[in-house]
Amino acid sequence: MISPTMQDALNTQINIEQHSAQLYLAMSAHCAANSFKGFAHWLSVQASEETAHAAKLIQFLLDRGGRLQLRAVPAPAAEFGSVIEVMEKTLEHEKGITGKISALFELAREEKDYASEITLQWYVTEQVEEEANVGEIVAQLHAVGDKGGAIWYLDSKMGKRGA
């Protein structure tokens, strides 16, 4: 049985993952509205990943006999600026999520909740990958700038992201 403290912390993280999904959907729509179909696709796949992250935590919570407490998901902004700004905001967001996952992992250790610790290891690794991927995209965007032909080449590359 999961402790009330861990249950509450996991419910909070589920809400954070759902908020990430909403944020990336809004960013995707923003890119689509500005004709960056490739970035829109990449962000839409990212939104689906965030929904899957929430689902995985929900299943874990239920498997441990915990209670799911879904909370209101804060509405994201609708405007995010240039594509470079969108991806910079994505990187900042992911860095924030890494901090949340680390705090959750630390809590699992304090609580001697080994099952949560093992499950959260997957999220720790995932954050390393997410920050690396987004960091690379931001670096490429800085290299090409957000005007000229290279940005459209990058956009078509972003459109090839698999699910």
Per CB under 6 A, contacts with ligand OFO among 53-82 are 53
Q: Does 14 bind ligand OFO (CB under 6 A)?
A: no
Report which residue type is found at 92: E
CB of 123 to ligand OFO, least distance (A): 7
Q: Contact between 17 and ligand OFO (CB under 6 A)?
A: yes
Residue 9, helix vs strand vs coil: helix
Spatial contact of 53 and 123, defined as CB atoms under 8 Å apart: yes
Count of positions on this chain that bind ligand OFO (CB under 6 A): 8
| 155 makes contact with ligand OFO (CB under 6 A) | no
Residue 57 or 151: which CB sits closer to ligand OFO? 57
Contact set for ligand OFO, span 94-153 (CB under 6 A): 94, 97, 126, 130
- In 10 A of CB 16, how many CB atoms? 22
CB atoms within 10 A of CB 34: 15
Residue numbers 25-44 binding ligand OFO by CB under 6 A: none
Q: Which is nearer to ligand OFO, 50 or 88 (CB)?
A: 50
Smallest distance, ligand OFO to C-beta of residue 88, A = 15
Query: Between residues 48 and 140, which has the closer beta carbon with respect to ligand OFO?
Result: 48
Task: Name the minimum Å distance from CB 93 to ligand OFO.
Answer: 6
Cβ neighbours of residue 121 closer than 8 Å, sequence gap 6 or more:
105
Rounded to whole angstroms, how far apart are CA atoms 4 and 148?
54
- The candidate with the shortest Cα–Cα distance to 30, out of 74, 73, 82, is 82
Positive or negative, the CA dihedral 97, 103, 106, 112 is negative
State the residues that interact with ligand OFO by CB under 6 A.
17, 20, 50, 53, 94, 97, 126, 130
